[in-house]
Chains A and B, each alone.
Chain A
Amino acid sequence: MNLKSTKNQFIVLTILGLFFMILNISLGSVNIPFKDVVLGVLGDTNIKESWLYIIQNYRLPKAFTAILVGSGLSISGLLMQTLFRNPLAGPFVLGISSGASLGVALLILGASLFGASFSALAFSNFGLAIAASSGAFLVMLAVMIVAQKVQNTMSILIIGLMFGSLTSAIISVLAYFSSAQELQQFLFWSFGSLGNLSWNELLLFFSIYLIGLILVIIIIKPLNTLLLGENYAKSLGVNLKRVKNITLITTAILTGVITAFSGPIAFVGLAVPHLAKLIFNTSNHKILLPASFIIGAIVMLISDSIAQLPNSEYTLPINAITSLFGAPIVIWLLVKNKKTY
């Protein structure tokens, strides 16, 4: 691998990332001139008060959320693809998003079953986050307990998928017995959303995300060894059980917190690692992890900018946009490069 070209690619990607972040902040349902956007970000109070409020309390946190969501999901996807040596693996193979969905479904759809005090909670942002994270945490715990009992990594993959099916089935049953209004609310949650986070919520989000990110850095080296397969990794001194556990916990933390705050956002976690591998043409995690981080952030910022439908009052579901625009790009890149993955 040419070291210099890798460095250049990173510089270009970082500049692109910054560009799309500024673009993301300057676009929205309210049209704010670019100059005022920059001033607003820098905290200049001379611009229109409502604009300043929109930029500082709505658009900036939303852009940061996009970066956290995009990078976190992409890194989790990369971890899962390496651990399971499966290009189809993504952050949600462990059933974590289904767990989060189950938590939210119980809150929203089950509200009528459990009484009115519950439904008040269901409409608050915080209530959704708590329900989603406890659901994600419970499923993660179940997968981790089972993972300790099975030696085979592939079994963990299948067990994760089974937990996913199981929770989806429970959600279906709940959905069958709930009202149209509750169903709609649940559906809106499952579309995913980057907005609506206050700075305080974002701070909590970031703190948990940071724990996941630090754990990832610890396992960069053994992840590279795992490219040789488990037996070779072991013979090169890798403590397999420890690495497996850290990888699973990291993925659970990252996808759990992301799903809790932004809903089950599909596609990014599966596709971005492939984009990173295609662009950098390497398997080295020292390159792939930061690459997935930046590309994931960029993809999420672009998707969010499109979803905002600039200057209109409509916002499209972010979940649809990521796949609608991302999938053709990945297909095109794979065909163009004629590589397996």
Chain B
Amino acid sequence: MLIKTTNLDIGYASKKRQNSIAQNINIEITSPKLICLIGENGIGKSTLLRTLSKVQPKLKGEIIINNKNLNHYTAATLSQKIGLVLTEKVPPSNLTVYELIALGRQTYTNWVGTLTDLDKQKIEVAINLCNMIDFKHQKIDELSDGQYQKMMLARVLAQDTPIILLDEPTAHLDINNKIEIFKLLKNLVENENKLIIISTHELQLALHTSNDLWIMTNKEFLCNTVKNHIENGNLDKIVKSKLVKFDKLKKGFVFK
């Protein structure tokens, strides 16, 4: 069992009140695959990813990660199971691309953070996979948005976890970079046996590359394979406008 949630409620809680964003989320993932999490802005996609990775506490329910209750993980043990790329930017600093990617190995290194040969090898593999060789020695503040996203991806690959959660990794990217990243993620699932969950607004790319779709609407949380979603007509639930309709044959959205 890679991830399992039972009656999970997510949202924000303070002492006085609870702001619940989504309720009764039930997920069960047993094998590595590429999952796209789709839904409109503010529906709770980021909150769900942050809750699954313990960045933010859950409101109710249970989360099992790798056959173990999420409550029983320390930050250190969880960091070897789940890798994370958030939408928040890394604060400005003098770090180079290589140094930032190398920080992905922090959870495995000794108390002063010395990189072993294995660490260096994993870092090189991650850099190669994300095509970042030419930018290795650049400062992180000098990167374009596309290079920045690929660097963050390389960092989480260097962390080498069975589960990777990515929050809108292709936002701000041009179409070529988007396709490249989706292709890379698909490869990782097939060749490295990773479970990758990404939240995205790229419906078309999601439909053609992912194994499963999680569709979040304000009424329900639907998990299924892409094929089943199409057959059940679930995709029309994301688009409110009457002008656009999902075409089952073309596997895409069309204007009426």
Chain A hits for B82, CB < 8 A: 235
A1, A224, A225, A235: residue with the most chain B Cβ atoms closer than 10 Å: A235
* Contact in complex: B91, A229 (CB < 8 Å): yes
Are A237's CB and B84's CB within 8 A?
no
Considering only residues 204-243 of chain A, those with a C-beta below 8 Å from chain B are 217-218, 220-221, 224-225, 227-229, 231-232, 234-240
Contacts of A228 in B (CB 8 A): 90-91, 100, 103
Judge whether A244 is part of the interface by a CB distance below 8 angstroms: no
Q: B90 contacts A234, CB within 8 Å? A: no
Which chain B residues lie closer than 8 Å to A238 at the CB level? Answer: 75, 106
From A155-163, A261-269, A279-287, A297-305, the one touching the partner chain is A279-287
Residues in A whose Cβ lies below 8 Å from that of B76: 237, 239
Interchain CB contact under 8 A, A232 and B113: no
The chain A residue with its CB closest to the CB of B83 is A235
> Whose C-beta in chain B lies nearest to the C-beta of A237?
B79
Number of interface residues of A (CB under 8 A): 27
Bound Cα distance from A18 to B82, whole angstroms: 48
Q: Is the CB of A235 within 8 A of B106?
A: no
Q: Does B53 contact A (CB under 8 A)?
A: yes
Q: Count of B residues near A, CB < 8 Å?
A: 34
Closest approach, in angstroms, between the C-beta of A1 and any C-beta of chain B?
7
Docked complex Cα distance between A238 and B84 (Å): 14
Min Cβ gap A133→B in Å is 30
CA distance A227 to B95 in the complex (A): 8
A225 to B100, CA, bound (A): 9
Contact between A237 and B91, CB atoms less than 8 A apart: no
Whether B7 is near chain A, meaning CB under 8 Å from some CB there, is no
**Does B191 sit at the interface, judged by CB under 8 A?**
no
Distance between Cα atoms of A270 and B74 in the complex (Å): 35
Q: Which residues of the partner chain A approach B95 to less than 8 Å between Cβ atoms?
A: 227, 283-284
Q: Are B93 and A237 in contact (CB under 8 A)?
A: no
| Contact partners of A231 in chain B: CB under 8 A | 50, 55, 84, 86, 88
* B residues in contact with A232, CB < 8 Å: 84, 86, 90
Q: Which residues of B contact A181 (CB under 8 A)?
A: none
By a CB distance below 8 angstroms, the chain A residues around B112 are 217, 220-221, 286
**B residues less than 8 Å from A282 (CB atoms):** 94
- The distance in angstroms between the C-alpha atoms of A240 and B78, with both chains bound, is 14
Asked if A234 and B75 make an inter-chain contact with CB atoms under 8 angstroms apart, the answer reads yes
Quick check: is B23 within 8 A (CB to CB) of the other chain?
Answer: no
Check: B26 CB closer than 8 A to any chain A CB: no
Task: Say if the beta carbon of B107 comes within 8 Å of chain A.
Answer: yes
Contact B111 A237, beta carbon cutoff 8 Å = no
| Contact among A221, A229, A234, A277 for B94, CB-based, below 8 A | A277
Q: From the candidates A220, A235, A283, name the one contacting B79 in the complex (CB within 8 A).
A: A235
Question: B84-104: contact bitstring with A at CB < 8 Å (1 yes, 0 no)?
Answer: 101010111111100110011
| Chain A positions within 8 Å of B84 at CB level | 231-232, 235
- The reply to whether B91 and A85 form a contact with Cβ atoms under 8 Å apart is yes
Contact of B106 among A221, A240, A286 (CB under 8 A): A221
Which chain B residue lies CB-closest to A288? Answer: B94
Contact residues in B for A237 (Cβ distance below 8 Å): 74-80, 106-107
B78 touches A229 (CB 8 A): no
Contact B88 A229 (CB under 8 A): yes
Known A-B contacts A235-B53, A235-B79; A283 and B104 likewise in contact (beta carbons under 8 Å): no
Contacts of A281 in B (CB 8 A): 94
Query: Distance (Å) between the CB of A71 and the closest chain B CB?
Result: 19
B94 — nearest CB in chain A belongs to which residue? A283
Residues of A within 8 A of B78 (CB): 235, 237
Pairs A–B under 8 Å by Cβ, sample size 6? A228-B91, A239-B74, A239-B76, A240-B75, A284-B99, A286-B113
Question: What are the 4 tightest A-B residue pairs by CB atom distance, in nearest-first order?
Answer: A237-B79, A237-B76, A237-B107, A283-B94
A235-B53, A237-B74, A283-B95 known, 11 other contacts, Cβ within 8 Å: A1-B96, A227-B90, A227-B95, A227-B103, A228-B103, A232-B86, A235-B78, A237-B106, A238-B75, A239-B76, A284-B95
